[in-house]
C-alpha cells in the first residue's frame, strides 16, 4: 500500500513523498522527471516492498516545485546544487547509504550530480532515460539532431510557458507522451492524475529548465555551447545501471555514447521498441532489471 507523508528538511524545504515499507528496512529512493510526479513509480514501489522482492522501504519524493512539495518562486533555487541538497537531506533522514538511487528524466539530473558529489549516500545508481550531464552538454553544443529534439527546452523557459501548456486542457503536455507513438498506458485515470499535478505545480517543473544552462543554443543564448563541464564533474565511482529506451524522440542514442569514459562500473542496456516513458510502458521490465542489478553484488 502506498502511503503519503510530508517531510520537512533542515533547509526549510518540504517534500511530499510516497512510500511503501517500514522504516528500518533497506531503502530504495526513486526520483521522477518532467512533467511527471512521484506517483509514476507506484507499481515499482509496491514491487520492491514485497518480502519476496527484498522487502525494501521505497521512497519516492515529489521533487522541489512539484505536487505538494515546496515551490520557491526564485528561479535560482531550482539550480542543481539545491535539488541535490534536498535529496541528500532526505537520504540522511531515511538512513544513508540507500541501497539504490533510481531516477528518470530530470530526476536523473539530480541523481547524476548527487552520485558524483556525494557517492557515500548511495550504494548503487540506476538511471532510466536521463542523459549524463557531460554527454548531454556535448550533444546539445555540437549535434544538430539533438538540438532539434531538445528544442522544446527553449519553449519551456518562455515566461508564458505555463499559460500555453494549460491551454486546451493541457493539450501540449499530453502531446509529450504520444509524440513517440501509441501510449496505451495513458488512460483517463492516469490523465486525471497528471491534471491534478499540473493544476498544483506547473511552474516548478518549468523552472528546472529556466535555471539550467544546459539547453540548445538559440539566437540570444549560447546554451550548452557556452559552458564547459570538466570531466571530473561527471565521473561516477558507483556501480551504475543505465536503461535506455531506444525510441526516445527527445533524447537520442548518441547521449549514451561515451558513458564508459565517466563510469568505471557501468551496466548499459539498450531497450528496443520502447521510448522515453518506459516506466509507464514497461514497469515490470524496469522492476526486473532493477532486481537483477540489486542482486548482482549480494
Report cis status (omega within 30 of 0) of the bond before 35: yes
Residue 179 pLDDT > 80: no
Q: How far apart are CA 41 and CA 45, in angstroms?
A: 6
Q: Which of 57, 54, 64, 72 is nearest to 18 (CA)?
A: 57
**Is residue 297 over pLDDT 90?**
no
Residue 181: pLDDT above 90? no
pLDDT tens-digit profile of 248-273?
999 999 999 999 999 999 999 999 99
Structure confidence at residue 298 (pLDDT): 61
Per-residue pLDDT band at 241 (split at 50, 70, 90): very high
Q: What is the pTM of this model?
A: 0.97
Quick one: average pLDDT of 138-151?
96
- Give the model's confidence band at 180: pLDDT under 50 very low, under 70 low, under 90 confident, else very high: low
What pLDDT does 182 receive?
Answer: 75
Rounded CA separation 56/123 (Å): 14
Topology of the domain covering 3-296: Rossmann fold (3.40.50)
Quote the CA–CA distance of 50 and 101 in Å, as a whole number. Answer: 18
pLDDT of residue 160: 97
The whole-number average pLDDT for the span 148-170 is 97
Query: Percent of the chain at pLDDT above 70?
Result: 99
**76: pLDDT strictly greater than 70:** yes
Which burial class, exposed, middle or buried, applies to 23 when counting CB atoms under 10 A from its CB (0-12, 13-18, 19+)? Answer: exposed
Q: Using CA atoms, how far apart are residues 159 and 90, in angstroms rounded to an integer? A: 31
CA angle 189, 128, 285 (to 5 degrees): 65
**pLDDT tens digits for range 29-48:** 999 999 999 999 999 999 99
Report the pLDDT averaged over residues 182-193. 92
Q: Which three cell numbers stand for residue 51?
A: 518480502
Is the per-residue pLDDT at 100 higher than 70? yes
Calculate the alpha carbon distances from 44 to 36, 59, 227, 288, 295 in Å: 15, 11, 37, 10, 16
pLDDT recorded at residue 149: 96
pLDDT of residue 134: 96
H or E stretch at 271: strand 266-271
Give bridge partners of residue 30 from the DSSP assignment. Answer: 102
Q: What is the DSSP string of 68-106?
A: TS---S-GGGGSHHHHHHHHHHHHHHH-SSBSEEEEETH
At how many degrees (to 10) do helices 42-49 and 283-296 cross? 40
Per the DSSP assignment, residues forming a β-bridge with 8 are 14
Amino acid at each position: 500500500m502506498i502511503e503519503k507523508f510530508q517531510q520537512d528538511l533542515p533547509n526549510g524545504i518540504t517534500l511530499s513523498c510516497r512510500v511503501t515499507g517500514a522504516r528500518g528496512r533497506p531503502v530504495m529512493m526513486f526520483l521522477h522527471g518532467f512533467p511527471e510526479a512521484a506517483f509514476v513509480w507506484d507499481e515499482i514501489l509496491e514491487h520492491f516492498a514485497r518480502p519476496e522482492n527484498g522487502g525494501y522501504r521505497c521512497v519516492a519524493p515529489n521533487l522541489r516545485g512539484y505536487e505538494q512539495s515546496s515551490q520557491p518562486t526564485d528561479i535560482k533555487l531550482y539550480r542543481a546544487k539545491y535539488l541535490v541538497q534536498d535529496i541528500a537531506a532526505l537520504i540522511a533522514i531515511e538512513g544513508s547509504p540507500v541501497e539504490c538511487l533510481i531516477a528518470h528524466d530530470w530526476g536523473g539530473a539530480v541523481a547524476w550530480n548527487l552520485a558524483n558529489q556525494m557517492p557515500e549516500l548511495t550504494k548503487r545508481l540506476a538511471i532510466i532515460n536521463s542523459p549524463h550531464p557531460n554527454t548531454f552538454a556535448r550533444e546539445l553544443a555540437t549535434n544538430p539532431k539533438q538540438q532539434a529534439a531538445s528544442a522544446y527546452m527553449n519553449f519551456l523557459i518562455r515566461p508564458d510557458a505555463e499559460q500555453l501548456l494549460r491551454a486546451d486542457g493541457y493539450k501540449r503536455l499530453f502531446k509529450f507522451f504520444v509524440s513517440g507513438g501509441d501510449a496505451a498506458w495513458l488512460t483517463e485515470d492516469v490523465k486525471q492524475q497528471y491534471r491534478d499535478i499540473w493544476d498544483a505545480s506547473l511552474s516548478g517543473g518549468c523552472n528546472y529548465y529556466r535555471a539550467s544552462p544546459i539547453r540548445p543554443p538559440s539566437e540570444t543564448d549560447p546554451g550548452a555551447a557556452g559552458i564547459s563541464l570538466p570531466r571530473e564533474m561527471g565521473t561516477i565511482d558507483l556501480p551504475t545501471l543505465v536503461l535506455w529506451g531506444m525510441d526516445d524522440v527527445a533524447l537520442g542514442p548518441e547521449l549514451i555514447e561515451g558513458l564508459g569514459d565517466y563510469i568505471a562500473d557501468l551496466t548499459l542496456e539498450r531497450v528496443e521498441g520502447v521510448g522515453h516513458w518506459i516506466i509507464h510502458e514497461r514497469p515490470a521490465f524496469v522492476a526486473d532489471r532493477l532486481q537483477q542489478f540489486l542482486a548482482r553484488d549480494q
